Amino acid sequence: MIGTSKKTFQILKKYNFNFKKSLGQNFLIDSNILNKIVNSASIDKDTGVIEIGSGIGSLTEVLAKSAKEVISFEIDGRLLPILADTLAAYDNVEIINKDILKVDVDKIIKEKFSTCSKIMLVANLPYYITTPILTHLLENTSLIDGYVVMMQKEVANRLNAKVGTKDYNSLTILLNYYTDVEYLFTVPKKVFVPAPNVESAVVKIMTKKEKDIYIADTEEFFNFVRNCFAQRRKTLMNNLIAISGKDKKESLLSACQSLGIEPSRRSETLTIFEFNKLHTDLKNREVIK
Ligand code: SAM
């Protein structure tokens, strides 16, 4: 097994590999955690799995044993010869040397996983881009059934935060629109090499079959929501003024009044339904584009 402390250090030494902190390289060296992650994803021999960040293949290997096919994206070209060696025994794994943020994941799924009945994304994410990855995938893919992902605990807590709490933000709203989130377990720093600065958590995110609310243009809507959280300490009204300009203050006030939304509230107290009403109303009034 690749993902043990002994084996990992052997591989790192053999290839004289130096970690790139800037790429979020914290490799897993605990077989229990690796198995726990894969078991949580309910993968079987009909499942196609997308992985982000192969590293030296620790998680990829465990995935390959359970899944039909695994496609793993790894941005760091230095890892390719290592992976060719560590994963040589698995003919159901393909490593793609690309930045996940630039990949059309649905296109890859259509091309490569046509015979799979379920598609899961499983990853020990590179923490420096956890939010961009989740945003990119949720906004641009529709073929992934669910995700089991390791991320920094602080971000995991935001994903299913309750409205009105300090953890509730635009990411919470995005996740809540597309998915059901379950916090699975906390992971200590010591199961990684090198150990990250923060605690980690594994989260299961299942794509909703039916949405709770209809949003016509999700890209526009979520940009609006993100802008409403741009200055967290300020009121909703101050954020709205920053979006549309001081000269729109009267229209903004009258929109809030007509919707029963107190303009002195902070964005973290608004539900997705309130944001949607506000966005639609401000567009109708041509206060925002
Ligand atoms: N899966 C391995 C493990 O659990 O040991 C490695 C996980 S490590 C936290 C994250 C991996 O993602 C690194 O190998 C890093 O090079 C890779 N990575 C970083 N940014 C990436 C990106 N934009 N696209 C694809 N892979 C990326």
Please provide the CATH number assigned to the domain covering 218-284. 1.10.8.100
- Phi first, then psi: give them for residue 283, nearest 5 degrees: -70, -45
Query: What gap in Å lies between CA 218 and CA 139, rounded to an integer?
Result: 8
**Distance from the alpha carbon of residue 88 to the mean position of ligand 1, in angstroms:** 19
State whether residue 118 is helix, strand or coil. Answer: strand
In the CATH hierarchy, which fold is given to the domain comprising 5-207?
Answer: Rossmann fold (3.40.50)
**Distance from the alpha carbon of residue 134 to the mean position of ligand 1, in angstroms:** 14
Atom nearest to 133 CA in ligand 1: 23
In which residue ranges of the chain is CATH 3.40.50.150 found? 5-207
263-278: pLDDT as tens digits: 999 999 999 999 999 9
CB 95 within 8 A of CB 83: yes
The per-residue pLDDT string of the chain (289 residues; one tens digit each, 9 = 90 and over) reads 999 999 999 999 999 999 999 999 999 999 999 999 999 999 999 999 999 999 999 999 999 999 999 999 999 999 999 999 999 999 999 999 999 999 999 999 999 999 999 999 999 999 999 999 999 999 999 999 999 999 999 999 999 999 999 999 999 999 999 999 999 999 999 999 999 999 999 999 999 999 999 999 999 999 999 999 999 889 999 999 999 999 999 999 999 999 999 999 999 999 999 999 999 999 999 999 8
Measured from the Cβ of residue 261, the count of other Cβ atoms closer than 10 Å reads: 19
In which residue ranges of the chain is CATH 1.10.8.100 found? 218-284
Output the residue whose Cα is nearest ligand 1's atom 5. Answer: 27
Query: What gap in Å lies between CA 35 and CA 27, rounded to an integer?
Result: 15
CA angle 206–48–191, rounded 5-degree value = 70
Query: What gap in Å lies between CA 168 and CA 55, rounded to an integer?
Result: 31
State whether residue 151 is helix, strand or coil. Answer: strand
List residues near ligand 1 (CB under 6 A). Answer: 23-28, 52-55, 58-59, 73-76, 99-101, 124, 126, 129
20-65: pLDDT as tens digits: 999 999 999 999 999 999 999 999 999 999 999 999 999 999 999 9
Query: What gap in Å lies between CA 233 and CA 230, rounded to an integer?
Result: 9
